[in-house]
Each structure stands twice: as C-alpha cells, then as structure tokens.
Amino acid sequence: MDWDDLRVFLAVARAESLSGAGKRLALDPATVGRRIARLEESSGTALFAKSPLGYVLTEEGTRLMPHAEAAETAMEGAREALAVPVGPGRGLSGQVRLGAPDGCANYLLPQVLKQICDENPGLEVQIVALPRVFNLSKREADMAIGVSRPEAGRLKVQKLTDYRLHLAADPAYLSKAPPLRHPGDLKDHRMVGYIPDMIFDKELDYLGQLGVGTVNLASNSVSVQLNLLRAGVGVGIVHDFALPFAPGLRKVLADQVGLTRAFWLIRHEGDARAPRLNRFADLLAVGLRREVQRLEAQT
C-alpha cells in the first residue's frame, strides 16, 4: 500500500470531504477523488460512504485508520530524524500548529513564542486561537493547550502550570455602582462573562461557580470580556496574568473570591515519538510557566 495514497486517505477521513482534503494537501478535489478510488480499487473494498454530510468512513475504512496514523507517525519520525540536527547550538525548524484558548493566546503566547522563535529562527509557529476543544485526531493542530485534562482519547497530556483568576472592575464603574463588600452583593451589579451556552469547558464556568445567574454583557472571547471591563461596564472574572495588560482595572473582593485553574498541553499519542515536537513542547512548558509567574507577580 502506497504511503502517498494513505496520506490522501487520512486527509479525507479528517476533513470528511474531497474539497477539505484538497485544501490540506494542495490538490484539486478531482485528484483527491481519483486517489481515493485508486486506493479502494487496490484494496478491494470501499473505504468511504458518501452521505449528505460528506465522506464517512465505512467499517473497513475505520479499521484502516489506526494503521494509516501509525504510518503517518513513522514517516514524520523519519523526516525528523534526518531534519533535526543533534548537538549544542542546533535549532528547531519546520512548522508547528498550536491550538490555544484566546486568553492564553493573547496574553502569554506572544512573549513565550518570541523567545522560542528568536532561539530557533528556522521554526514556523501557527497559533489557532479558538474558544473550543481541538480535535487532534483530525489534525486541527499538532498540539493544543487546554483548560482541563481530557479523560478519553489516544492522547499524551502534561500539566503546564496553574494560574489564578479574580474579580475585577474599573474604578469609574465602582464609584457609581452599589457597594461591593461580599460575594452576595454581585447580584446588584452588571456582570461580564462568557455566553452561558457557549462555555465549552466546565472549568470556564467561573460565574456559575460563584452563584451568579445573570450575565449582563457576555462574549465567548476573554479579550472582549477584558475590554468590556476596561470600558467600565461592570464586574467580571479576569486572569491575573492579563491584568498587567489592563492597568486601569482593580481587583475586587480579592480576599474573598479567588479561582485557580490549570493549563494542560495535549498531544496526539503517536507524536510522543517525534523529537522535534517533544523539544518544542519542552520549551513551551518552561516558557509558559515562567511567563505566568512573571505576570502574576505584577498584580
């Protein structure tokens, strides 16, 4: 079985369409279709069933999937064994796509990746900053930073760092708002937070944990929430590491309300044998931990 055909098979299985696979492979959909037909002919079985939703793996295609992924891992390992020099002073190269929640992507990764890329000028890093869980099996990213530890899937997971969050508001808002002396007073204030039905991880339900039932101004973006607070519209939960980027905000009820969460680095299990990704993961872990500590020390 030809690896190049398996590569096309994996792309179609992950994109669930010929056009989506073509974009990933820089091939036109017709070529992708011919390659799948060739693979099905050579294997003597149908690997996909075409449905209104796109291309869906058949039972035979599902059985082929882990073997194709193993071949992909082996090919990646072979490329890295030849491409990554060993020894002092040798840097990383090639492309790494990193998924991350937007708070981490906006306030931590720029500084961390600057240092990594300065030390490894041949490295190309793509940040996918989306407020959702990434599907590494479909190769949406090479690795992802999550806010909770996955409980299922063939994944390699490592804890990166804890981080803290507190309530915060603009002094101009607080000067005109009702007194805020204890958590029960939050019911009298305009609250800023996540759109309730778009909270993609239970660890992000900060206000729900505090018993706040109504979110007056909501966004699925941490950066938008921070800017709403900077505009003086209300009170909300803020990452301590983001506060240095909004020096006008002030913590409120800091001695009564404080949350601790963690960042986790999540990778496909097979990538644990990829030296380049392992080295990048190590640099990312050290840099992220250091940057959280640096920024939190300023609050």
- The reply to whether CATH 1.10.520.20 applies to domain 3-83 is no
10-residue block means of pLDDT along the chain (299 residues)? 86 88 89 91 90 87 85 70 51 88 96 96 90 62 90 85 97 96 95 92 90 92 96 97 97 96 89 80 95 96
C-alpha angle 45/49/54, rounded to 5°?
Answer: 145
Place of tokens 């590569």: 7
CATH homologous superfamily for the domain 162-260: Periplasmic binding protein-like II (3.40.190.10)
CA distance 146 to 160: 10
Distance of CA 230 to CAs 48, 96, 173, 249, 295, Å? 51, 34, 9, 6, 18
CA distance 148 to 15: 26
Q: What is the model's pLDDT at position 134?
A: 60
Q: What is the model's pLDDT at position 51?
A: 80
**CATH number belonging to the domain at 93-160+262-296, selected among 3.40.50.10490, 3.40.640.10, 3.40.190.10, 3.50.50.60:** 3.40.190.10
- Please tell me whether the overall predicted TM-score, pTM, comes out greater than 0.75 for this model: no
Start and end residues for every CATH 3.40.190.10 domain found in the chain? 93-160+262-296, 162-260
Q: Which residues contact 121 (CB under 8 A, 6 or more apart)?
A: 91
Closest CA to 97 of 141, 39, 139: 141
| The pair of three-digit structure tokens given for residue 42, joined into one six-digit string | 């050579």
C-alpha angle 78/82/84, rounded to 5°?
Answer: 110
CA distance 55 to 19: 11
Distance of CA 165 to CAs 213, 217, 219, 253, 281, Å? 19, 19, 17, 12, 25
